[in-house]
Structure 1
Amino acid sequence: MHAFLFILALFAGTFLPLQMGLNAMVTLHWSQSAPLSSLISFAVGTIVLSFFVFASRIPIPALTTSTVPWYAWLGGLLGAIGVTTLTYLAPRIGALAMISLLICGQLFASVVLDHFGIVGYPLRPVTLMRALGLVMLICGAYLVNRY
């Protein structure tokens, strides 16, 4: 099962640079605005997910029964900022630079989130090998952007 999940994650990872390139095309050829292109992207995604949720008959719980902390709802805000920023960056720095730097930022944040068990992640302390892997990935990002 782990192998399938890893392959699924790799497959989903291919979507981000493709999505940003498509959003950048909408910006270039229509909206002239990264925020507007991102809004269109989110609207299309919302429509598709709405059809999926309703077709799957997934029950929608009442908000009044929610025990979700207030800050958990900020995920949508972070997604909007992230997609808009990447839509802006894609045509300016290219897919490789954008994704390699994005991955470095994600890895740094992930190490911190895991080490301290923040926002519900299981506590997984930083080890020497993890730190070494992070340094190597940062070096890789440097190399692909430098040469």
Structure 2
Amino acid sequence: MNGAGAGLWLSVLMLVAGFGIPVMAALNSGLGVRLGSPVGAAFVLFVVGMLASGLVVLITGTTNPFRPVAPAGFWLGGFLVAFYVLSVTLAAPRIGVGNAIFLVLLGQLVSATAIDHFALFGAQRHPLTLTRALGLVLMACGVFLARHPG
């Protein structure tokens, strides 16, 4: 697949993944309420996610995903996923799925901009230009307005 085709496919993939995040938040927070335990709901989510990921590893023929090929810090992403899932599972029933996701999105915008600008964690550098900064401010304003309608 050429660069443009791959970029389009990956863009659609990320859009679909974005649709899934609030759905996951709503489902998992609902499970947490029904179980009486946000932590229990997060545990169930990770067990199901582990089984699904394990199936993909088997299907794709990935060999030993635990081999030490990166600095230990790169393994901390699992803790960040757990923190996110636990946080949204706890917060969404109290402040609403929309508010929880809007705040997560604002945090993502700021951290993604810093990661890109400073090429953190081995990411490709995309400097913060005036145009990108304006786009970030407009997106942050949109998140704020969506959180405070009317």
The TM-score with structure 2 as length reference comes to: 0.89
Q: Which residue of 2 aligns with 1:14?
A: 19
The TM-score with structure 1 as length reference comes to: 0.91
The answer to whether the aligner puts 1:36 opposite 2:40 as a matched pair is: yes
Unpaired segments ≥5 residues, structure 2 = none
Instruction: State the shift of 1:58 in Å.
Output: 2.0
Q: CA RMSD in A?
A: 1.4
SS at match of 1:136: helix
Matched length: 144
SS at match of 1:110: helix
Pair 44,122 (structure 1): closer, same or farther in 2 beyond 3 Å: same
Identity value in percent = 34
Given candidates 60, 63, 67, the residue that maps to 2:64 is 60
Unpaired segments ≥5 residues, structure 1 = none
Pair 47,135 (structure 1): closer, same or farther in 2 beyond 3 Å: same
Aligned residue type for 1:7? V
The answer to whether the aligner puts 1:50 opposite 2:60 as a matched pair is: no
Given candidates 74, 77, 88, the residue that maps to 1:75 is 77
In the TM superposition, structure 1's runs of 4+ consecutive aligned residues that sit over 6 Å from their partners are: none
